[in-house]
Chain A
Amino acid sequence: MSGLVQQAAGIGTEAPALSPASAALAAADARHRWFVLGARVVVGIAFLLLWHVASGNWIDTLLISSPEAVAGRLWRWLIDGTLWFHLSITLLATVLGFAIGSAVGFSTGLLFGRFNTLADIFDPYISALYSIPKIALAPLFIIWFGIGIESKVAVSAAIVFLVIFLNTYAGVREVNPLYINTTRIMGGGQWAVLRHVIVPSAAAWVITGLKVSVPYALVGTVIGEFMSANRGIGFLIAQATGLFNTTSVYAGIVVLAVVGAVINTGLKHFESWVLRWRP
């Protein structure tokens, strides 16, 4: 029903998009996008070529392997199931850590943002917590949770928690009190204010936090896997390092890079959808 209304109204507002001026603007925009895309591909190919030429000619293959060897290794991993065997566990730990850390961080951030006294009391402890390198917690978590997936989830969750907590808190403190007051006057209770004012207003901060913490979540998991594990991309890299198998090390790194990029791209789309109201 409201979809229909939306469509009907959309005709009214979007009609000017067909005017010559905005068509020209769109065309210029598209040209620019294609140029950037083309340049990116060129840069990527140049890098691979350089790597290929350097390998064995300027630098020992043992140190930098070669692009074709890495590609071959990735292909083999893909078809013999090694890739999925290790990647699935790394992904699971990352996603779980990310989900738990951001859920807990978001709710405590909201809570602290709404109750200033709480924030005042905990302020020095939070600063202290923030300044320790979170990676230093990894050995501790391995002692607590063992070498299974739990310790990796804990490392990522701890890192993500802090980032999301601080960003949510900052976002809630920035909410314009005028919006809260007018929403309450028009009949909104605490819950409605939270849902229609505080959360959307803090969304920009929260999403920035999410974007920042994706690589952290991945790093947390992989560090945990480096230290002690028997499965996972981090384990794969650590094992290959022990055997001076640089080809596998690079292949593992490529996998991590791709995973990070894919998650970040997803978040970027999510961000532009949530913050579509921004000019």
Chain B
Amino acid sequence: MSISARGVRKLYVTRRRETLALDRVDLDIATGEFVAFVGPSGCGKSTLMNMVAGILAPSEGTILHDGRPVTGINQRVGYMTQADAVLPWRTARENVELPLRLRGVGRAARAAKAAETLAAVGLTGFDNAFPAELSGGMRKRVALAQLLAYGPGTLLLDEPFGALDAQLKLVMQELLLRIWEKAGQTVIFVTHDLGEAVTLAQRVVVFSARPGRIKLIEPIALPRTGRDPFRTRFAPEFERAYSRLWEALAPEIAREEEVVA
């Protein structure tokens, strides 16, 4: 499902200050495309995701999902938010089952699907654990299992693997790639890890420091399918894309530091 941003601007107004988070953002993401967002902290990546999900409205401009403007909560996306959103009063399994239950899937089918996806993210045996009994990285994986279980056509993933150790991160990347190759979802993947962006995405969007604007859109010349997160980093295309992205990103991060200082 295609996603477009047309002249999107977001101004946060609170009593204490006004923050221009995003400005003049134009972007088209094709159906089935895997796009990564990178940019300095606070440049508005999560803000843009929230607007695609319909949680926030743009101050100016529009977001289109399959040609239709997003005006309220967008139930055609699956959203793994940056902050933990698994419900603390439901066990891992009950969390994974919730969207299925909301769709009227029967008990047995739900349980089977939950067991399957929890196993896929490496959480076998933790079905009955409450989120408080899980580590941060495990909670992230529960949220991922939940998305995989109900299979929305568009995935918004906001730093999904940020809390994982380097090895587990590669395993999860591999899992995500295989699932995407099979199901062909449209994916927006926010990350601070340039290598992760290059490994996974077909295009990487670099945002400038706040106010976030699109500074560079870099197509990744690696093959669309069959990428191996354990090896792509040794490909010459990886290196080229990585350094081009870094050239675009580095001054923005420096700029962000100036603002902070």
Q: How far is the CA of A279 from the CA of B129 in the complex (A)?
A: 11
* In-complex Cβ contact of A277 among B53, B88, B102 (8 A): B88
- Distance (whole angstroms) from the CB of B56 to the closest CB of chain A: 10
Question: Judging by beta carbons under 8 Å apart, are B73 and A278 in contact?
Answer: no
Is A128 part of the binding interface, using a Cβ–Cβ cutoff of 8 Å? no
**B74 CB within 8 Å of chain A:** yes
Interface residue ranges of A28-59 to B (CB < 8 Å): none
The answer to whether B128 and A182 have CB atoms under 8 Å apart is no
Whether the Cβ atoms of A179 and B78 lie closer than 8 Å is no
The answer to whether B102 touches A186, judged by C-beta atoms less than 8 angstroms apart, is: yes
User: In the complex, A73→B15 CA distance in Å?
Assistant: 68
**Chain B contacts of A201 at CB under 8 A?**
89
Q: For chain A, which range describes its interface: under 10, 10 to 19, 20 to 34, or 35 or more residues?
A: 20 to 34
User: Which residues in chain B, 94-141, are within 8 Å of chain A measured between CB atoms?
Assistant: 98-99, 102-103, 107-108, 111, 115, 124-133
Q: Given A1-B107, A196-B98, does the pair A9, B89 have CB atoms closer than 8 Å? A: no
A76 within 8 A of B: no
B41 at the interface (CB under 8 A from A): no
A99 to B: closest C-beta gap in Å = 24
Q: Contact partner of A182 among B81, B90, B125, CB < 8 A?
A: B81
Please give the distance in Å from A277's CB to the nearest CB on chain B. Answer: 4
A132 within 8 A of B: no
A12 to B129, CA, bound (A): 11
Q: Which 5 A-B pairs have the closest CB atoms?
A: A12-B125, A186-B99, A9-B127, A279-B132, A277-B130
B residues engaging A (CB < 8 A)? Answer: 53-55, 73-75, 77-79, 81, 83, 85, 87-91, 93, 98-99, 102-103, 107-108, 111, 115, 124-133, 146, 150
Would you give 11 A-B contacts (Cβ < 8 Å), ordered by A?
A1-B111, A5-B93, A6-B127, A10-B128, A12-B127, A182-B85, A186-B75, A187-B99, A197-B87, A276-B130, A278-B132
A interface residue numbers (CB < 8 A to B) = 1-2, 5-6, 9-10, 12-13, 178-179, 181-188, 192, 196-197, 200-201, 203, 276-279
